Amino acid sequence: MLDLSIKNGRLVGVRPVFSGSILADVVSKTDPQLASVRGRAFPMPDAVAGRSGEVVKVDAGVSEAAVGMTVTGFEEVGGGEVNLNDAKIVVAGGRGVKGPEGFAPIKALADALGAAVGASRAAVDAGWIQYKYQVGQTGKTVRPDLYIACGISGAIQHLAGMGSSKVIVAINKDAEAPIFQVANYGIIGDLFTVVPALTAEVKKRLG
Ligand SMILES: Cc1cc2nc3c(=O)[nH]c(=O)nc-3n(C[C@H](O)[C@H](O)[C@H](O)COP(=O)(O)OP(=O)(O)OC[C@H]3O[C@@H](n4cnc5c(N)ncnc54)[C@H](O)[C@@H]3O)c2cc1C
């Protein structure tokens, strides 16, 4: 689910249907009402100092053999990089970067800001960057303080993964691009000019 609310005592979830072209309200007709939500779909509450909890292990009564999947281990990805899931700032590139080498200025700005790199599905599908960087309905959901979208049009499936960012900056040469409708700040221009200029300014100010 992308969102949850209670109406007339029933849990109402919002989820994408028909390949994400429609967001539908769905209601469970039976009890218990159960829903799973995407990571980062809701803001993280502030930590309450001194609050503690108790972990209670409940036997679900399901044998390990009955579960079709086995977790054999965990592997860290992107050693040294800022983790996209937890990043406070994300600099993302889309089809507008025009090729794998177009992510170099995106990465340079991300490095200057201590940010993570993100990407649209168009850039991932083109093979310019790995899937682990994809933001959106079929990628990661992020909720950073600052999301800088470079050469990304703002399709609904991309917005599903970053639309809850606190501040959105869009850099796009098309003034009519839908991303400007959700952006707090918009820069109409060529990302290959704007992004390096921003990087230089950030480096000058942050030292
Ligand atoms: C079921 C389904 C799931 C999907 N899941 C996802 C998902 O998880 N994430 C996702 O991102 N998409 C997803 N999509 C795809 C989505 O619909 C869009 O196709 C995709 O987001 C477009 O990526 P884009 O904005 O990079 O490319 P485009 O829509 O082609 O936009 C490129 C933009 O770059 C701008 N531009 C070009 N050159 C420059 C330049 N030099 N400087 C500045 N701007 C420039 C253009 O004006 C344009 O606005 C999904 C689609 C479906 C059907």
Give the mutation target among 172, 180, 188, 195 for probing the ligand 1 site: most ligand atoms within 8 A of CB. Answer: 172
At 182, list the tokens: 């959700």
Strands 10-17, 22-27: pairing is: antiparallel
- The amino acid present at 60, given as its one-letter code, is A
- The number of the ligand 1 atom at minimal distance from the alpha carbon of 136 is 8
Centre of ligand 1 to C-alpha 111, Å, is 23
pLDDT tens digits for range 104-123: 999 999 999 999 999 999 99
Does the domain spanning 89-206 belong to CATH 3.30.420.40?
Answer: no
Q: Whose CA is nearest to atom 40 of ligand 1?
A: 190
Q: What is the pLDDT of residue 81?
A: 76
Please report which confidence band the pLDDT of residue 86 belongs to, taking 50, 70 and 90 as the band edges.
confident
Nearest to 155 by CA among 139, 144, 166, 131: 139
User: CA dihedral defined by 74, 77, 82, 88, rounded to 10 degrees?
Assistant: -50
Q: What is the pLDDT of residue 38?
A: 80
At 68, list the tokens: 């079709």
Residue range(s) in the chain whose domain bears CATH number 3.40.50.1220: 89-206
Give the mutation target among 22, 38, 106, 121 for probing the ligand 1 site: most ligand atoms within 8 A of CB. Answer: 121
- How far apart CA 136 and CA 149 sit, in angstroms, is 12
Q: Is the CB of 153 under 6 A from ligand 1?
A: yes
Centre of ligand 1 to C-alpha 179, Å, is 10
Residue 20's alpha-carbon distances to 24, 137, 153, 160, 202, in angstroms, are: 9, 8, 16, 9, 36
Q: Are 107 and 163 in contact (CB under 8 A)?
A: no
Q: What is the pLDDT of residue 79?
A: 59
Q: What is the pLDDT of residue 23?
A: 83
- The amino acid present at 139, given as its one-letter code, is G
Q: Is the CB of 123 under 6 A from ligand 1?
A: yes
DSSP one-letter string for the chain: --EEEEETTEEEEEEEETTTTEEEEEE--SSS------TTSSPPPPP-TT-------------GGGSS---------STTSPPTTT-SEEEEE-GGG-SGGGHHHHHHHHHHHT-EEEE-HHHHHTTSS-GGGBBSTTSB----SEEEEES----HHHHHHHTT-SEEEEEES-TT-THHHH-SEEEES-HHHHHHHHHHHHHHHH-
pLDDT tens digits for range 122-165: 999 999 999 999 999 899 999 999 999 999 999 999 998 999 99
Centre of ligand 1 to C-alpha 39, Å, is 22
Q: How many CB atoms lie within 10 A of CB 38?
A: 15
pLDDT tens digits for range 12-42: 998 888 766 788 999 988 899 988 888 777 8
Q: What is the pTM of this model?
A: 0.84
Centre of ligand 1 to C-alpha 170, Å, is 13
Which range is least confidently modeled, 64-68, 75-79, 83-87? Answer: 75-79
Q: What is the pLDDT of residue 95?
A: 98
